Amino acid sequence: MKYSENNEYTRYIGRKWLAVIVLGTLMLGVSMLSLSVGAVRLPLFEILRVLAGSGEDASRTIIWNVRMPRIATALSVGIALAMAGCIMQNVLRNPLASASTLGISQGASFGAAVAIVYFEAGIIFGGAAGNPYTVIIFAFLGGISTTVLILLLSYRSGAVPSTMILAGVAIGAMFTGATALVQYFADDVRVGSIVYWTFGNLGRPGWQEIRILFFLNIAGFLYFAFNRWNYNAMESGTHTAKSLGVNVDTLMLVGMVVCTFISATAIAFVGTINFIGLIAPHVARKFVGSDYRFLIPCSAFMGAIIMLAADIASRMIQPPAILPIGALTSFLGAPLFLYMIIKRGNTLK
């Protein structure tokens, strides 16, 4: 009997690891597809030649200077938003938690608007003015401030984690209204810059920003993986987790800070990206369930895959124009989310 139970557990773990490997392989495959598509189509053989250090000069320029940074950005941003959404949904006990529903995206948009209008940063029409890094800094501070306000309100009012999403929605609406007011009193050039920033642009970050995202993602993943058993305990409820020795308050506070840090940084670098953090963890659960030993890496892979798919669509729909990535993620994410609601009824877990 004991041998049978051990054998069943081994098969269970094997299926989960197989799902992780399949999603990781799919992510690499979609990355290769992204290298080949665009205004100039590159065959797989030519891509392999360039990656091996040879190939034509034009192909090397296209891959290393244009497409590879864009793909690296899509991977980093997708992983950051998906991991953050996965952990937020756990610690807040709410399947709708993500950077966009908690108001982090709206706070970042407000910070960017303030930087563009009042500090003349990142102006894209009529010549460049100001330092574009000012927009990144203000957007990051705007995203972080949202979570700070949520945590302060929750501790002052004694709100339970499941209701913190409502505070995030309210604060997000407040930042959206504040952004609209900033735009109302701005001139056309600055309004255009704000709108362009909110579209989202994977071509905006350089290798320096990509390295920052990469190291933040690694640090965030290591922290989440270290607490994977605590997140599994949280799936049974906060009372059960406390009975198992989990410091629920610390887990929630530190988890929210780490999630906000990586997601706000990603949004600050590329602009508003919706639905990735909300959709990716739910799709990953279809493959591995709610075991956070496997759900965390699968969510990261799924977020990267969705971002890459949206980027491919943005470059293929109307070449050589590149459509706004934020709009594409919404078009891809919203129908999928509605389908999941209809399929699963009143619960998403």
Separation CA 339–CA 329 (nearest Å): 15
Is residue 257 domain-resident?
yes
CA distances (Å), 203 to each of 72, 114, 325, in order? Answer: 10, 22, 10
Average pLDDT over residues 265-293: 93
Tell me which of 19-33, 121-135, 253-267, 333-347 is least confident: 121-135
The model's confidence at residue 344, banded by pLDDT at 50, 70 and 90, is low
CA neighbor of 187 nearest in space, from 257, 289, 116: 116
Is residue 305 domain-resident?
yes
The phi-psi region of residue 271 (left if phi > 0; otherwise alpha if psi is between -120 and 50; otherwise beta) is left
343/38: higher pLDDT: 38
Cβ–Cβ under 8 Å, residues 336 and 283: yes
Buried b (16+ CB within 10 A) or exposed e, 64-95: eeebbbbbbbbbbbbbbbbbbbbbbbbbbbbb
Q: What is the pLDDT of residue 233?
A: 95
The DSSP string of 212-232 is HHHHHHHHHHHHHHHTHHHHH
CATH number, domain containing residue 205? 1.10.3470.10
The phi-psi region of residue 54 (left if phi > 0; otherwise alpha if psi is between -120 and 50; otherwise beta) is beta
Tell me which of 10-14, 68-72, 342-346 is least confident: 342-346
Is residue 167 domain-resident?
yes
Average pLDDT over residues 171-196: 92
Q: What is the pLDDT of residue 151?
A: 85
Average pLDDT over residues 278-306: 94
- Encoded amino acid at 1, one letter: M
pLDDT at 99 exceeding the cut of 70? yes
Is residue 17 domain-resident?
no
pLDDT at 167 exceeding the cut of 70? yes
pLDDT at 304 exceeding the cut of 60? yes
Q: How many domains does the chain have?
A: 1
pLDDT at 345 exceeding the cut of 90? no
Average pLDDT over residues 24-41: 93
Query: Across the chain, what does the average pLDDT equal?
Result: 88
Separation CA 320–CA 327 (nearest Å): 17
pLDDT at 114 exceeding the cut of 90? yes
Q: What angle do CA 287, 291, 296 make, to 5 degrees?
A: 75
The model's confidence at residue 128, banded by pLDDT at 50, 70 and 90, is very low
Q: What is the pLDDT of residue 129?
A: 46
334/21: higher pLDDT: 21
pLDDT at 125 exceeding the cut of 50? no
Is residue 308 domain-resident?
yes
Give the pTM. 0.92
Is residue 290 domain-resident?
yes
Is residue 66 domain-resident?
no
Task: Write out the residue range of the structural domain in which residue 218 sits.
Answer: 73-344
Is residue 170 domain-resident?
yes
